[in-house]
Homo-oligomer: A and B are copies of this chain.
Amino acid sequence: MSPDCLMRNIDITEGRNKTRAIDTVLNELSQRFGERLKTGMAIREQHGRDESFHKGHPPDCVVAVHSTDEVQQIVRLCALHKIPLIPWGQGTSLEGQVAALHGGVCVDLSEMNAVLCVNADDLDVVVQPGVTRRQLNEYLRDTGLFFPIDPGADASIGGMASTRASGTNAVRYGTMRDSVLNLTAVLANGEIIKTAHRARKSSAGYDLTRLFVGAEGTLGIITELTVRLYGRPQAQSSAQCTFDSIRDAVDTVIETIQYGIPLASIELMDSLTVKAINAYSKLSLPEKPMLIMEFHGTDAGVQEQAQMVQEIASGHNGSEFSWTSDAAEQKKLWRARHDAAYAIKALRTDGQLWATDACVPISRMAECIEQTLDDIDQSKIIAPVLGHVGDGNFHLCMLVDHAVPEEVASAQALHERMIQRAIDMDGTCTGEHGIGYGKRDFLKQELGGAVDVMRSIKQALDPDNIMNPGKIV
């Protein structure tokens, strides 16, 4: 037999073994979980695809779990048969994190959505991973507390932890890295660990909490978390301001942060984004770079903050500064920002949104965005820019027709140049979306040998590579 034939036969044998293994697993799961095991193609496809343009890959089945013990049972079964496990929260990831690249079992955690314990005095809450951020804030409504991290989508807390999500409030309240106090996870070997207790700080050994936050389910499945809460501010106000250039807007932000003004959020929109919003929301905002800001504090505090920012902005050619502490007015003002994604999508009905999320030191941000805007002009891709400018994090919202290969290639090249630019400026390819399978090459480009360390850790904790294989490393 020629080596080629031999290889093909081994492949077929391996394929058969895998088929047999997944059949065994499906049988077992069916007996244990009954109706909660789904194998219909529609539900499998839906659970293998996230909100990005990345190609979905259906798992072999979807099991809705209700407890850590159930997750442990499934992991043990899959470990025995070397079948991949892919955790699922709300499917709002943006780098293909939920795609079952090698088939396997989708562990649907969305029904593990109980808020287990609000510790009001400690400003924390224990939740199951399927609780979504809106559900949590709804639950907290009468407590005077809130969970500040807002990535836009109504993501699950477990999913947000797994991708180290952040969003508009990170400049004040941090990211999921800062939010999670401890978590419970089921490891690839079926063991259940709790990474820490509820103390605010700890020096007790390696920071396993931070290791699992951002691991995208590749080291284990998160089944419980304690996250930090904050007291609702006594007063909240918002402001907007228009600038002649991106640089003026960014310089305003730099100075604001240096003064220690504790902005709750500060968002940048470029002129094309404002134009899109005007068209979509029937507004007549000046079509120039714009900052939208939110202030949290006491009545006197938020007023003082806004006055200081206005002064700083006027030193950087800021104009049409408007400030309001009226709740309805604020809602209207932020509506524009929140509708930005829809407004941008409406710019081109035959285009699919491709959202990037590079993040650079704020001192390089104006330069990075300016060079990228020049590049956008030349590459003829429609791509408004908006971002969490307080963190140096910005989104290029490319609208691409994926049926036109030249266009996809052009967008890809634009994206690659922008990431190289961000890395050259001491930044990162991803400020908040994660690596998934969409950015694996960029991770290597960004961190070089450090990726080998990640691989060693993955290998140590999941030697058979059953935990969300093909993601990150």
- A interface residues (Cβ-Cβ under 8 A, vs B): 119-124, 144, 163-166, 170, 174-175, 177-178, 187, 191-208, 210-211, 213-215, 219, 230-231, 233-234, 254, 257-260, 262, 296-298, 300-301, 304, 308, 357, 359-363, 391-393, 422-423, 426-435, 439, 443, 446-454, 456-457, 459-461, 472-473
A426 to B231 alpha-carbon distance, docked (Å): 22
A201 touches B450 (CB 8 A): no
Among B144, B199, B428, the residue within 8 A (CB) of A204 is B428
Max count, chain B CB within 10 A of own CB: residue among A231, A428, A435, A472: A428
A448: chain B residues within 8 A (beta carbon)? 193-194
**A390 CB to nearest chain B CB (Å):** 8
Q: Which of B194, B454, B460 contacts A205 (CB 8 A)?
A: B454
What separation, in Å, do the CA atoms of A454 and B391 have in the docked complex?
A: 31
CB pair B259–A362 under 8 Å, yes or no, is no
User: Do residues A203 and B432 form an inter-chain contact, with CB atoms below 8 A?
Assistant: yes
B-chain residues with CB within 8 Å of residue A357 when the two chains form the complex: 203
Instruction: Please judge, given known A-B contacts A194-B450, A211-B211, whether A206 and B260 are in contact too, CB under 8 Å.
Output: no
Q: Are A207 and B199 in contact (CB under 8 A)?
A: no
Could you name 8 residue pairs across A and B whose Cβ atoms are closer than 8 Å? A194-B448, A200-B362, A202-B359, A204-B429, A205-B451, A231-B260, A260-B297, A459-B460
Task: Identify which of B199, B260, B453 contacts A208 (C-beta below 8 A).
Answer: B453
With A197-B427, A449-B193 in contact, do A454 and B257 touch (Cβ < 8 Å)?
no
Given A260-B296, A450-B193, CB of A391 within 8 Å of CB of B426:
no
Chain B residues whose CB sits within 8 angstroms of the CB of A422 once the complex forms? 199
Interfacial chain B residues near A203, Cβ < 8 Å:
163-165, 214, 357, 428, 430-435
- Cα separation A172 to B217 with both chains bound (whole Å): 31
Closest Cβ–Cβ distance, residue A223 to chain B (whole Å): 14
Q: Which interface residue of A298, A300, A452 has the most chain B CB atoms within 10 A?
A: A298
From known contacts A197-B426, A362-B122, infer whether A205 and B435 are also in contact, taking CB-CB under 8 Å: yes
Tell me the complex Cα distance, A233–B304, Å.
Answer: 15
Contact residues in B for A123 (Cβ distance below 8 Å): 257-258
Contact B258 A196 (CB under 8 A): no
- Within the complex, the shortest CB–CB distance from A362 to chain B, in Å, comes to 6
